[in-house]
Amino acid sequence: MLNALRSEVIKQATLRSTAVYFVLLIGSLFGPVVLLGLLDADQFRLGEPQPWDMLLDGFFIFTAIAVAFTASRTTSDIKNHMTAQSFVTQPGRWQSLVAKFVVLVGFVAASFAVGAFLIVVSVMAFGGSVAGGNLAPLFAALTMAVTVAAVGVGFGALVRNSIVAVALPLVWLLVGEMLVRAASAKYSVLEPVGKALLTQNYMNLGGQESVGLALAVFAAWIAAFAVAGFVSNQVRDVR
């Protein structure tokens, strides 16, 4: 298992596009704050300490980039026969996918941490400060980021097609969930579906509402796509 993790870390670290994704991920978080500071620095300098829910305007861009990163990396390894090679060199099929989950999801989580730190630095650079009393929005965003990253890996292992693995989660996150949420508010029969949406539970967790349910929903999304990805990885042929 350690060999699989080491191999995955080296592989991701030596790809130039990893640095590009890192810049895009952290930039999507602190970039809007910098832009706001350039346009209206007085908001930071003269206003109250900024709460985290007001500083995460770029977070949904972050989630889109995160799921595109993890899904495309998973499918590209299959397309380029890297998975087949790992099956030959490792004692089982599951090790390579576990390593991919750990490394890719860990990369997204680390990028989020760096981006959040740069948000604080950016606010301070414009003479403001960040309110430290309520960290629930920050925790909710990290939980959402880890979840969509894991979904990207699992879905990529399931469908094995880069276009489908990237496009469908993006459409679901950016359009599908909004439509389902609107429909669930109008039709009571769809209320259980509305309660299982990622974006709805992200908002609930950030607002400290139904925290237990929100965490359970996030865990269920991760488990469902992880199981689907592992089953596909275990039984399907590779070249």
Q: How many domains does the chain have?
A: 1
Give residue 36's pLDDT band: very low, low, confident or very high (50, 70, 90).
Answer: confident
Give the tens place of pLDDT for each residue, 83-131.
655 554 566 667 778 888 999 999 999 999 999 999 999 988 888 888 8
Which tokens go with 73?
A: 């990396």
Give the tens place of pLDDT for each residue, 1-31.
676 778 778 888 888 999 999 999 999 999 9
Cα–Cα dist 153/93, whole Å: 15
Which one is predicted more confidently, 12 or 67?
A: 67
| pLDDT-above-90 percentage for the chain | 41
Contact between 156 and 70 (Cβ < 8 Å): yes
Which pLDDT value is given to residue 14? 87
Residue among 27, 19, 23, 22 nearest 57 (CA)? 27
Q: How is 120-138 classified by DSSP, letter by letter? A: HHHHHHTT--B--S--HHH
Give the tens place of pLDDT for each residue, 150-175.
999 999 989 888 899 999 999 999 89
Domain range for 138 is 2-235
Contact between 141 and 154 (Cβ < 8 Å): no
pLDDT at residue 216 greater than cutoff 80: yes
Which pLDDT value is given to residue 181? 87
Q: How is 43-96 classified by DSSP, letter by letter? A: HHHTSPPBPGGGT-TTHHHHHHHHHHHHHHHHHHHHHTTHHHHHHHHSSSSHHH
Which pLDDT value is given to residue 91? 61
Which one is predicted more confidently, 199 or 234?
A: 199
